[in-house]
Amino acid sequence: MKKYPLLLFFSIALFIISALLFINSEVFAVDQIKSVEFYAVDSNTPVNSQINQQFSIYIGDNLSGVTNPIKSVYFIVSGVATSSGAGSLEFKIDSDSATSKVFSFPDVASAPTPFELVYKDNSNKINPSSAGSYSYTLNIIPTNITIYGLGVKAITTYRYAPISCPDGQPANEKIKTNEFFAVDSDIPISSTLNSPFSFYIGDNLSGVTNPIKSVYFIVSGVATSSGAGSLEFKIDSDSATSKVFSFPDVASAPTPFELVYKDNSNKINPSSAGSYSYTLNITPTNITISGLGVKVIETHRYRPPSCGGGTYWATGDIISPIFDTGATNGVGYNWLMATGTTPIGTKIKVQLATSNCSNGATNSPDCTNGSWGQTGSDYIGPAPDCNNSVYYYNSVLPSSPTPQEIKCYNNHNNKRYFRYKTTLESNPPSYDFTPQIDDIIINWSP
């Protein structure tokens, strides 16, 4: 068959302007500082003997080159104390005596007494010098004292070396703590309260392993009872999330409290950005809670947006208009060729989509519900794979343009319409060079 090539030269200078925007990046000359919170310990049963609870903290920022990056690590410990005389509460990390600190308590036999204290290890055992996940064991040793509703959270503050844009590069995963309102009640509760709540993650979690590092609830209020009671928490009425906190007899006086509820089944475990809704179920037994308030504290790893370390965005896509070959029965696609410039470290990638419908639908002849690259014809690369994970070129362009054979006959042949997608990649990690496309040439035969 004689070939009647159609050479399509499409200048895309304007697309380049829109696809790879010049960024006036703010360069930070000094190290930055950040605080993140992590769940450490809770106990739904009264604690009157030693407990050893493993916990983890995660640092996702670049600490290299920063002298003494850890500026502060401390624990907030809360609960309700009872005793038959003076008592104490000792804390250690990894059973290391150098980390020991013993807090004295007065005689609290007359009434259960809420407390909140700060434990800081003066030996600085928790002292990472690089990004990563770090696990420790918190040892809590009560003497002549019983703690109800024990809750502990770890707060870490550190210096880090940012990249030359505020949030860094996608390769450097970050970590962030968010707080959200969950529940309040302006009337005393003495029966089950089911309260819907939502929280939102706006960061990119794709490709991040186990992005959720910590989710827990801080619950506060004032308790009254006619004897010992309890407070149960669930999420979405799921028994696997249940935790029942015991309360002492608080009939003698209304007793304020603050406790930490952590669902050990990790029901709240998003893997992508979005809004997530749940219902917190709170069931008091033989106890009335006034001024109930609950907030949820969530800490996650995320992949920051591509902001570039230099002048350009990391990547940009150019999608062509829809081209009509005019052939009712479609055409045979032979080869494509890209021309342009690719400075060292940059790349150009090209993919082709074809259809018998101008909207990209695959269900010809009725051509309904079509969308190029989505619900219709996909942008794909060359044989033998012929799918959307391979590309024509995908490298620095040669100095002399070379046509690349299209093949993928089952995907493209006898299709009337086509589009192409070009992806331009700047040079990582500095992103101070970017490629330029001059022409995309598609050769086809009737």
> Do 217 and 251 sit in the same domain of this protein?
yes
Choose the weakest-confidence range: 123-132, 195-204, 242-251, 304-313.
304-313
How far apart, in whole angstroms, are the C-alpha atoms of residue 371 and residue 368? 9
Rg of the chain over all Cα atoms, to the nearest angstrom: 31
Q: Which domain holds residue 399?
A: 13-24+308-445
Q: Which residues pair with 331 in a beta bridge?
A: 415
Could you tell me the pLDDT band of residue 366, with boundaries at 50, 70 and 90?
Answer: confident
Q: Phi and psi (nearest 5°) for 191?
A: -135, 175
In this prediction, residue 208 carries a pLDDT of 82
> Do 331 and 287 sit in the same domain of this protein?
no
Could you tell me the pLDDT band of residue 438, with boundaries at 50, 70 and 90?
Answer: confident
Choose the weakest-confidence range: 36-45, 56-65, 78-87, 386-395.
56-65
**Residue 350 CB-half CA count within 13 A:** 25
Q: Give per-residue pLDDT as tens, 76-126.
A: 999 998 888 888 999 999 999 999 999 988 888 778 888 888 898 989 999
Which helix H or strand E contains 285, and what residues bound it?
strand 274-285
User: Would you say residue 183 has pLDDT above 60?
Assistant: yes
Domain-embedded: residue 131: yes
User: Would you say residue 305 has pLDDT above 70?
Assistant: no
Could you tell me the pLDDT band of residue 250, with boundaries at 50, 70 and 90?
Answer: confident
Exposure string of 54-86, with b = 16+ CB inside 10 Å and e = fewer, is ebebbbbbbbeebeebbeebebbbbbbbbbeee
> Do 325 and 228 sit in the same domain of this protein?
no
In this prediction, residue 10 carries a pLDDT of 34
> Do 100 and 159 sit in the same domain of this protein?
yes
Q: Residue 388: which CATH number?
A: 2.60.120
Domain-embedded: residue 261: yes
Domain-embedded: residue 134: yes
> Do 126 and 59 sit in the same domain of this protein?
yes
> Do 312 and 194 sit in the same domain of this protein?
no
Asked whether the CA dihedral 230, 45, 101, 155 is positive or negative, the reply is negative
**Which of 284, 302, 320 is the endpoint of a domain?**
302
3-class SS at 184?
A: strand
**What would the DSSP string read from start to end of 234-281?**
EETTEEEEEEEEEE----SS-EEEEEEE--TT------SSEEEEEEEE
**Which of 277, 302, 327 is the endpoint of a domain?**
302
Other beta carbons within 10 Å of 135: 10
In this prediction, residue 309 carries a pLDDT of 47
Could you tell me the pLDDT band of residue 172, with boundaries at 50, 70 and 90?
Answer: low
> Do 77 and 110 sit in the same domain of this protein?
yes
Q: How far is CA 332 from the centre of its chain?
A: 45
3-class SS at 68?
A: coil
User: Would you say residue 27 has pLDDT above 60?
Assistant: no
Q: Give per-residue pLDDT as tens, 420-433.
A: 999 888 877 666 77
In this prediction, residue 13 carries a pLDDT of 30
> Do 265 and 329 sit in the same domain of this protein?
no
Domain-embedded: residue 4: no
Domain-embedded: residue 2: no
Mean pLDDT over all residues of the chain?
82
Q: Give per-residue pLDDT as tens, 252-269.
A: 788 889 999 999 999 999
Domain-embedded: residue 1: no
> Do 136 and 207 sit in the same domain of this protein?
yes
**Total count of domains within the chain:** 2
**Which of 257, 278, 302 is the endpoint of a domain?**
302
User: Would you say residue 234 has pLDDT above 90?
Assistant: yes
Is the Cβ–Cβ distance between 368 and 355 less than 8 Å?
Answer: no
Taking the complete model, does pTM exceed 0.75, yes or no? Answer: no
